[in-house]
Amino acid sequence: MFLVVLNLGITFALFLWAPRAKIPTRPDGTTGHVWAHGTILEGLKALPRWWIVFSGSMFALAFLYLYLYPGFGNHKGSLGWTSHGQLQQEVAANDAKLAPLMERFRLYPVEKLAGDPDALAMGKVLFEDNCAACHQRSAKGNVALGAPDLADNDWLYGGSGSDITTSIHDGRSGVMPPWASLGADNVKNLAQYVLSLSGAPHDAAKAAAGQPMFATCAACHGAEGKGNPALGAPNLTDRIWLHGGSVADIEKTIGDGRQGHMPAWSPRLSDDQIHVIAAYVYQLSHPVNEPRQ
């Protein structure tokens, strides 16, 4: 409040004083200040009336603003305006516009809603606002974060509309335990066997040596390495890697383990918004001309 008074007070005082200030001038109307060896003289003219009127109106608006809106100490403003109140009004107005659309979206399961252009347009915006930080705007995922590609139809916890909705609503937490206790050589052999499951280039001798140890991994990934959506254990046979598919990446995954966390979005997003995002994500991994269920 002190700064507001000081700023307005000084500038208003200068505004009132400046037009009346007496500045000595010569008979020719100049002030005596010269440049370029006397070829340029400083003249003196009164401020134009439009400038004075315009500046005065700005001061009037400033005082009126401080009367109408909060900004002067504890004064709440005569209009009773608050930023929270305006936000609530705008959210309510937006919800009123969206209500008929959301009501229509609720009639369809995710798989069918994924063919609705209006739902996809809304889902894209919601996805970019909430999910793109980890999965990228393209939804191609991020190996550094362990965020899966959502456009390849390879799913850790299932790719049905219900599965995707649950992942968004409740979140997911995956843990790959570390197996460094097997020994460095065994970890290397096991990594080569994992590479062999997807037909990737590998050392056949090391892969054969690592095959017996895969029985420990089969409890989650299955005997054939096809994964288990109930546990979030990835398929190891499709050359799609959550944390990278190089030899070094796989050895690190086996030796050190991995932890992944998909936060629950139910505290932030409504069920209707989650339903729309699930439809958008479902559409990303299914061709447009594919029949919807």
| pLDDT above 90 for 24 | no
Q: Is 113 exposed, middle or buried (0-12, 13-18, 19+ CB in 10 A)?
A: buried
Identify the residue with better confidence: 47 or 257. 257
* Half-sphere exposure (Cβ direction) of 287: Cα atoms closer than 13 Å: 3
**Is 134 flagged in the annotation as binding?**
yes
Distance CA 277, CA 169 (A): 10
**Is 122 flagged in the annotation as binding?**
no
Distance CA 173, CA 264 (A): 10
**Is 33 flagged in the annotation as binding?**
no
**Is 176 flagged in the annotation as binding?**
yes
Tokens 């979005």 correspond to 265
- In the chain, the percentage of residues whose pLDDT exceeds 70 is 98
Q: Which CATH number fits domain 175-262: 1.10.3210.10, 3.40.190.10, 3.40.50.2000, 1.10.760.10?
A: 1.10.760.10
**Is 1 flagged in the annotation as binding?**
no
pTM across the whole model: 0.72
CB-CB contact of 203 with 258 (8 Å): no
SS3 at position 4: helix
User: In which band, very low, low, confident or very high, does the pLDDT at 19 lie, cut at 50, 70 and 90?
Assistant: confident
pLDDT of residue 136: 96
Each domain of the chain, given as residue ranges in start order, spans 1-68, 116-171+263-285, 175-262
Residue 77 backbone phi and psi in degrees, to 5: 85, 140
**Is 169 flagged in the annotation as binding?**
no
Handedness of CA 219, 234, 224, 159 (dihedral sign): positive
User: In which band, very low, low, confident or very high, does the pLDDT at 288 lie, cut at 50, 70 and 90?
Assistant: low
Handedness of CA 261, 264, 267, 268 (dihedral sign): positive
Fold that domain 116-171+263-285 belongs to in CATH: Cytochrome Bc1 Complex; Chain D, domain 2 (1.10.760)
| pLDDT above 60 for 60 | yes
Any idea which of 15-29, 211-225, 277-291 has the lowest mean pLDDT? 277-291
